[in-house]
Structure 1
């Protein structure tokens, strides 16, 4: 942070001496800006002009932290609406405020509320654009990893890599994800929290579509948990139609089904991952449909 230009400092001294009547007003401004109680009190018997100069010198010796306080002092004095009505020369007091405000703006120490709001909007937009670019780049990397898994000949190695890929995808979507774990009764590939519901995750990368027996085994894991638990079954090869039909007609279904085609569309950036899962949950809740293709969304 650059030092406050000398003309701005001198203008601030004049405001302290001419626009403020009570020493306590200067004391309060200094305290609000970050000057310690002792930093003010040791000069409290001096004139307001000299109090300001002495405190300023102390802030100079404090280095960068002191400089930040100096900027705050200038801004606070320039922000005064008008001089105190009891000052000996009201016109001179008001003129000192206008002069400080003019110099501070010229040196970009003080900006108008409109300019500040405009700059904050510009910075926020730039930050959003940067974040969106980073998210797209991360999604592109995930897509490359996903595509590379198709050429992995070792099915066991590919299965482990698929679980790691899904964990990275959940993190990219900023979802609370817990990796694979074992209990005394079963093993779970992972768990993710979506809209206050915990979803157990089952990840399969096999040549044939998942059949009723596989879905049933996973559904049993889910049913052993409390009612707020659901299941997210991810099968790269999809699901046998008769298996989907069974859960479509089931009295109670707590499974959401995702296939490789769904993942491919999400990785292309055509639909947000979390939005896709919510749409599938909505279809299961409203229509009783355990599987809805992301392509149809």
Structure 2
């Protein structure tokens, strides 16, 4: 079936609507990748350097230049964007309400330009059925990012706490919330006959004990040996995650003791990488565990992760 050529006015309206329905470029980019079938073209745009409208304009122009490949995808974008109705995600950045109002107005104008385009496009009905599912995925991603930002703000507030005891207590609470966010089944701190364990969690059917320290001095090997003793007193397959916000001494990273071969180490830079959204916490733990398993090194740096 020959598909009607999309008018210049409709494409301009599409660019304008796409630039307004999401505030952050990363959320907009995910919407595009979920909507169009040939989504690899999205990665050809320089989203970091370009402003949002410039990125959208380049993408639409490139797709329109190759109707043999992207005609259906452009029509899907027209359809999904013109049917956009839930703007609740904009409230996080929209204190005055003008951002939401602009988004609604741009979508309204797009509907006027696209009226009649889809009367004969039965093959695009699948896109309509998937609309709710795709929008929900984007909303969940936005909600996750907002919660991660909240944890980051809490961390900065804890960093300003002058009482070591209160800071440690708040850190335990933050880590518990963070592990919940990544579905790692955490337990709050608990005591076992003279031992103080900061917590535990489960990842890929393996139980981990958690130790967290935030002190002015670097954690030394004696701290690792003590933690290793706690791990060895549990079931055979139990592992440990030792988090030191201020890092570890060289003797920690160079030790070859069997007492420490059941744990992995994480520092403050690792935690910030997670809070910045550059890597998922579960992926970070997997990478560190895999590296320790392959090399015997329990302290693996993941700086530069994007």
**TM > 0.5 fold call:** yes
Which 4+ stretches in 1 moved above 6 angstroms? none
Tell me whether 1:138 sits opposite 2:147 in the alignment. yes
**Which residue pairs with 1:211 in the alignment?**
220
Match of 1:234 in 2: 243
Aligned residues: 185
Structure 1 residue 242: Cα displacement: 1.2
Cα distance, 1:119 vs. partner?
2.4
- Identify the residue that residue 301 of structure 2 maps to in structure 1: 293
1:163 offset after TM fit, Å?
Answer: 0.2
Distance 1:148 1:293 in 2: 25
1:158 CA displacement: 0.3
TM-superposed deviation, 1:115: 6.2
Matched, 1:276 2:284: yes
How far does residue 251 in structure 1 lie from its aligned partner after superposition?
Answer: 7.9
- CA shift, 1:244, in A, is 1.6
1:166 matches 2:175: yes
Q: CA deviation at 1:183?
A: 1.4
Q: Which residue of 2 aligns with 1:128?
A: 137
> CA offset at residue 122 of structure 1?
1.4
What are the ranges of 5 or more consecutive residues in structure 1 without an aligned counterpart?
1-111
Structure 2 counterpart SS, 1:210: coil
Instruction: Report the counterpart of residue 40 of structure 1 in structure 2.
Output: none
In structure 2, stretches of 5+ residues that fail to align are 1-120
- For 1:113 and 1:167, the matched residues in 2 are separated by 49
Map 1:2-151 → 2, pairs under 5 A: 117-151=126-160
Q: TM-score, normalised by structure 2?
A: 0.57
Q: Which has the larger radius of gyration?
A: 1
Residue equivalent to 2:269: 261
Corresponding position of 2:12: none
Q: Is the 2:225–2:260 contact (alpha carbons within 8 Å) kept by the matching residues of 1?
A: no
- Answering whether residue 126 of structure 2 is matched by residue 154 of structure 1, we say no
Deviations 1:47-100 (A, max 9, x none): xxxxxxxxxxxxxxxxxxxxxxxxxxxxxxxxxxxxxxxxxxxxxxxxxxxxxx
For the 8 Å contact 2:228–2:259, the answer to whether it is kept is no
